[in-house]
Amino acid sequence: MNLFDVYPINNIAITKAKGTYVWDDKGEQYLDLYGGHAVISIGHTHPHWVKRIEEQLNKIAFYSNSIKIPLQQELATKLGKVSGKEDYQLFLCNSGAEANENALKLASFHNGRKKIIAFNKAFHGRTSLAVSVTDNKNYIAPVNETDNVIFLPFNDEAALEACFKKQGDEISSVIIEGIQGVGGINIAENSFLKKIRSLCNEYGAVYIADSVQCGYGRSGKFFSHDFAGVNADIYSMAKGMGNGFPIGGIIIAPQIKPKHFQLGTTFGGNHLACAAALAVLEVMEEEKLMGNAVMMGKYLREELEQIEGLQNVRGRGLMIGFDVSDEIKDLKKNLLLNQKIFTGEAKPNVIRLLPSLGLKKRDAEHFIEAVKEEIGLMQKA
Ligand SMILES: Cc1ncc(COP(=O)(O)O)c(C=O)c1O
């Protein structure tokens, strides 16, 4: 049997990882500024994370949600404390798409409405509803097509206001990434998020903050939506939540009340996943990783801004993007081939940096030197 070939892959097999480094099957070392797509939050194979999972594995790995799983409450309490959303309620699942699927569905249960507002260049995942609010026709199968989604321009307050004025009574929810990831590192303006908050209040719609990529401390605040100083009704999360162990979740504001059987999952919130997620939060606190993300992010952006050929350096914390001009369009490829550095991308010409929040200064410096060297070589050629 062959693999179903849906991923255009690099011909590299990674067999070992530690902190911000990975090694391939030939023993070659790489600096990982991609973090397996913003997943590695506290560093590959962090010893505390390994220990927590190992210890849990020897006790019990899984039991269904038909019994009490005290680790879930432990995680909810810790997450409330670290995120500052202590009065929210936690529902656990397994991925980002699933988190958004549950958020959108819960919003609709809550207000009995069908329409969803999403934004240009949004990416919210591949499951049915999540993909229907994703702004990429190639990902939407005919069976996922729906008239319930309204796409509006990102950061356009007038368009948002006009839409609510026209059909505000039908709008169930507004879903937005605090910083668009797949869309190319586009920051939602504070005033725009405030406008979403006030319109949702006025019309009884649910504000869903997709924090799957931009959340969990990556921006330097726990949720990048926090920069706007308003609370969303539901935050979705995954990626960095388990540092590579699959786990996702939504946290839900107190006014949205639970009903038995409305949401559910077999694997969500299993013992092993909770142990991994608890380890992540413990390390984030212990090693002050959000503060490090702020510092390292500032350093990287300031350095990148000074490099000729790179444009529109942007982002928050360790979620950084910049455009590369046509002349140096092979920068990402050459960084990997020649410098052994993984970076992310967004089509057509954006390089994305999504490293571990524990990125060290010497690694950031090494990256900047490598970028300068590769650009120099391309400009000479
Ligand atoms: C903002 C955002 N939401 C949702 C998802 C989907 O997450 P998952 O791949 O875990 O389903 C992603 C994945 O890249 C994402 O970036």
Q: Which residues 6+ apart lie within 8 Å of 232 measured at CB?
A: 197, 207, 208, 209, 223, 225, 253
- pLDDT, tens digit (0-9, with 9 covering 90-100), for 25-54: 999 999 999 999 999 999 999 999 999 999
Residue 259 confidence (pLDDT): 97
212 lines ligand 1 (CB under 6 A): yes
Determine if ligand 1 sits within 6 Å of the CB of residue 343.
no
Is residue 43 within 8 A of residue 31, CB to CB? The reply is no
b/e per residue, 368-378, with b = 16+ CB within 10 A?
Answer: bebbeebbeeb
Expressed in angstroms and rounded, the spacing between residue 236 Cα and the centre of ligand 1 is 10
The strand pair at 14-18 and 344-346 is best described as: unpaired
Q: What is the pLDDT of residue 34?
A: 97
Tell me the CA–centroid distance for residue 124 and ligand 1, in Å: 5
Ligand 1 pocket residue status of 246, Cβ below 6 Å:
no
Query: Could you tell me the distance, in angstroms and rounded to a whole number, from the CA of residue 132 to the centre of ligand 1?
Result: 13
Record the tokens describing residue 95, joined without a space: 């991925």
Over residues 342-378, the pLDDT tens digits come to: 999 998 899 999 999 999 999 999 999 999 999 999 9
Work out the number of other CB atoms within 10 angstroms of the CB of residue 300: 24
Exposed e or buried b for every residue in 222-246, given b needs 16+ CB within 10 A? Answer: bbbbbbbebbbbbbbbbbbbbbbbb
CA distance 188 to 178: 5
Our answer on whether the CB atom of 103 is closer than 6 Å to any ligand 1 atom is: no
pLDDT of residue 127: 97
Mutate to test the pocket of ligand 1, among 239, 241, 243, 245 (most ligand atoms within 8 A of CB): 239
How far is residue 218's CA from residue 35's CA, in Å, rounded to a whole number?
Answer: 11
**pTM of the entire structure?**
0.98
CA torsion, ordered 152, 310, 326, 125, to nearest 10 deg: -40
Q: Rounded to the nearest whole angstrom, what is the distance from the C-alpha of residue 377 to the centroid of ligand 1?
A: 35
What is the band of 380 on the pLDDT scale with cuts at 50, 70, 90? confident
- Note the pLDDT tens digit of each residue in 180-198: 999 999 999 999 999 999 9
Å from CA of 211 to ligand 1 middle: 9
pLDDT per residue as tens digits for the range 100-147: 999 999 999 999 999 999 999 999 999 999 999 999 999 999 999 999
Q: Is 176 in the pocket of ligand 1 (CB under 6 A)?
A: no
Beta bridge partners of 157: none
